[in-house]
Structure 1
Amino acid sequence: MGSDALIAPPAPALNGNPNATADPRLPITENPASAQKPAQRPLLSYFKTEISIEHADVPIIACCLVSGLCDSSAYNAWTCFVSMQTGNTIFLALGASGQPITHPFGWLKSLISIFFFICGCLFFSWTRLINPKGRGTLAGSFFIQGSCIIIAAALVQAGVVPEPHGVVAETGSEVHFIELIPLAFLAFQSGGQIVTSRLLGFNEVPTTVLTSVYCDLASDPNLLKADNVKRNRRACAVLAILVGGIIGGWMSRSSGLSSALWLAAAIKISISIAWGFWRPNQALRI
């Protein structure tokens, strides 16, 4: 018999792993491919989870309340809107003819507000590239929006930006161009909330304008139908902006402009926290 007959055949592989053998004399090793598998990051996975759209219209309607607070306060103090840019566009047009004569630089405030509103829309629209309905994306977006309002409120409360008391006619010597700074921050964050309403699919709640909402309400063929979700959202948006405007007006008159802005910031930060704990989209987990 030859020497080749004395060599034992190789032990069979276990579970398809060539490194794991049935020979008890040899150590069992793991598959290198499984050993190199990266560890899961539960926190990152949690914030990447897409939210459920159910009841997600509630925070968007709360943004209408913020618009009412900010616009009534800003217009009361600086005769300029920070959310409703239709009015600012008309003010900008009037500035071409030097009107109104009591607000010679009103057009500049409107221009700044429009410009930074557009910048906000552009900036927050990029979230569509990084999981726009993810918990982390929404929470981060609203945290930035809330921080912008906080900066504006802090500038006013610290006296860096003078807070007008009563109706003061603007003349060339009484214009405070530093007012453009909080206006820019407030307009920038307003762009974020309308972009979010679009990304979440709530086009009937634009959060910063009511003209189209009034039109859609009046022309809705199912206006009196009991089960009409879009009508309900539009009506709530109108009511929220109205209530926010009333609250902002009273707070500006009684406790100052900064108090209304602090309340608006608190709402935005609360929405940011809420997004972080929002229910996941169960349809994507099946």
Structure 2
Amino acid sequence: MSPSISESETGRKSKLKEFLDEDICEDILLESELLLLSFATGIQDAAAWPDYMCFASNQTGNTLFLAIGVAGLTHDAYSFPNIGVSLSLFVAGGLVMGQLGNYFGVRRRLWLLISNLIQTALVFCALIIQYSWPIKRDGSAAMAVIACLAFSSGAQVAMSRSLKVTEITTAMATAAFIDVVIDPSLANIRNRLRNRRVLFLVMLTAGCFVGAFAQREAEKLRLQNWGLAVGLEELDLSDEHNHLLDDTKTNAAVKDLLLAIEAVCRGEEKVYANQAAGKEKQSSKDHLLPRHGPRDSKREKLRWAFGAKAKRVAQIEKFTSLVQNLHDLVPINNIRPGKSRSSIFDRRNDLKYESYNCDEIRRDIHIWLLHASTSPSELYEILVERRIEGTCDWVLDRPWFLGWTSSTFPDEKAKILWVNGSAGFGKSIICAWITHELLSKLKPLGYFFISSDFESRRDPFIAIRSWLSQLLRNPTVFALVHEAWANNFEQKAT
């Protein structure tokens, strides 16, 4: 090798070393990179929440949900183990990478390159884990995904804060909103700091919506692929369907989950219809996965999107949960030929709602209907327990009771049984025992007990809500109430 070539290579290496050892400057390229990271953060959190019930970057939300959960106010509405992992790994990522940055130089180009490579590698690790194991809300695989994303997010925020571009945090929007509105130069045409904050908020919000809509479309595709894999074509079973669908209980559970998904999709259309005034909503009655509402102007679509943000996130979350329940109930890798072709919905009146997969949804609806942790039905259970063995049975043999419960009772007469007596004579216990007897013979049946010390005695509608909560095991009632809940979950049931 000639001396000139050797000197040339040495010179290139020296220039590369100098380039990597330099501190980066604050310019439009750095701003653009931080804005792209903000966009990616929005996508990541919007996609992580429906799958794992926690955020990877938004630790303000995680801290709030953790406190609410510890106080027992959410009834398992969030995944507290995942939130704990996310919060702790986010702090760990910021601590480790932040201190390493202080040691090597927070603006040093080589360190920033290494930091970004580590963050990217962690995101790809989360991707590999997520697609190597079935998506579960809890468990070691879920925690591993959250750990990778949260550590990467902590490192990302530590890096962006160390660069001193405080207007683009890449994750936290609360301060940016306030900083924009209190800016004394807000109305100035040339205001670089304001422009940074506004662009950051736009990119973060855009990422959230892109992630949410992508998650929804992915779940729809996942649902369609599941139907093809298990042999479910247009709500009919093919000749080579999954043998698990021949089981009555499994069949009933699948049917109810599909009804719930249809209700969520109908609610999705109503969000658009309520926001886009004067536009006719496209009917989804005959479609499992409805199309979007009519095409509108970009301004109206943007107004609709921002106005329905919370409802959209909850709908996507429920949609994701329901699709996962279908995969858990009838795995696509468990396919054996079943019986001959038959329709799931042909047996609607004969199937009972007995699937544990819908217990969580039903529990959420119970809470929404009753507004409180104490159900009026608990008073009935207390009264039944107070009954002394052998008492109250005499009521069941009386002619007036037998006539009242008879199927030949005249339809034109009011079917009311009035139990009258002085205070303390046991009327409430007799009524509770009559209810106990009727529950063993009549399905469906709703009841409501109230006492003078009951906190909601001034609300007559709680009786109707209580009856609905008791009838949720009926598929038709469940579908109707679930649709109302999906569209009005932010408000108390009335």
TM range (shorter): 0.5 to 0.7
- Tell me, yes or no, if the aligned pair for 2:90 and 2:153 is still in contact at 8 Å: yes
| 1:73 and 2:47 matched | yes
Cα drift, residue 239 of structure 1 = 0.7
| 1:225 and 2:188 matched | yes
Question: What residue is the counterpart of 2:82 in the other structure?
Answer: 109
The amino acid that maps onto 1:219 is: I
Cα drift, residue 52 of structure 1 = 2.1
Question: What residue is the counterpart of 1:277 in the other structure?
Answer: none
| 1:46 and 2:19 matched | yes
Q: Secondary structure at the match of 1:240?
A: helix
Instruction: Provide the C-alpha distance between the structure 1 equivalents of 2:139 and 2:88, rounded to a whole number of angstroms.
Output: 19
Q: Secondary structure at the match of 1:62?
A: helix
Question: What residue is the counterpart of 1:276 in the other structure?
Answer: none
Question: What residue is the counterpart of 1:196 in the other structure?
Answer: 159
Q: Structure 1-normalised TM-score?
A: 0.68
| 1:239 and 2:202 matched | yes
- Post-superposition Cα deviations, 1:171-194, rounded to whole Å, max 9, x if no partner, equal xxx843431111011111111221
**Higher deviation after alignment, 61-70 or 49-58:** 49-58
Q: Map 1:1-286 to 2 at 5 A.
A: 41-42=13-14, 43-55=16-28, 56-103=30-77, 106-125=79-98, 126-158=100-132, 160=133, 162-163=134-135, 175-255=138-218
Cα drift, residue 98 of structure 1 = 2.8
Instruction: Provide the C-alpha distance between the structure 1 equivalents of 2:110 and 2:65, rounded to a whole number of angstroms.
Output: 38
Higher RCO (CA-CA < 8 Å; seq separation 6+): 1
Across the two proteins, how many residue pairs are aligned to each other? 207
Q: Secondary structure at the match of 2:156?
A: helix
- Tell me, yes or no, if the aligned pair for 1:48 and 1:131 is still in contact at 8 Å: no
Q: Identity of counterpart residues, as a percentage?
A: 26
Cα drift, residue 62 of structure 1 = 1.2
Question: What residue is the counterpart of 2:408 in the other structure?
Answer: none
- Tell me, yes or no, if the aligned pair for 2:91 and 2:154 is still in contact at 8 Å: yes
- Tell me, yes or no, if the aligned pair for 1:64 and 1:240 is still in contact at 8 Å: yes
Q: Structure 2-normalised TM-score?
A: 0.40
Instruction: Provide the C-alpha distance between the structure 2 equivalents of 1:178 and 1:52, rounded to a whole number of angstroms.
Output: 40
Q: CA RMSD in A?
A: 1.9
- Tell me, yes or no, if the aligned pair for 1:60 and 1:193 is still in contact at 8 Å: no
Instruction: Provide the C-alpha distance between the structure 1 equivalents of 2:192 and 2:150, rounded to a whole number of angstroms.
Output: 29
The amino acid that maps onto 1:176 is: G
**Gap runs ≥5 in structure 1:** 1-38, 165-173, 257-286
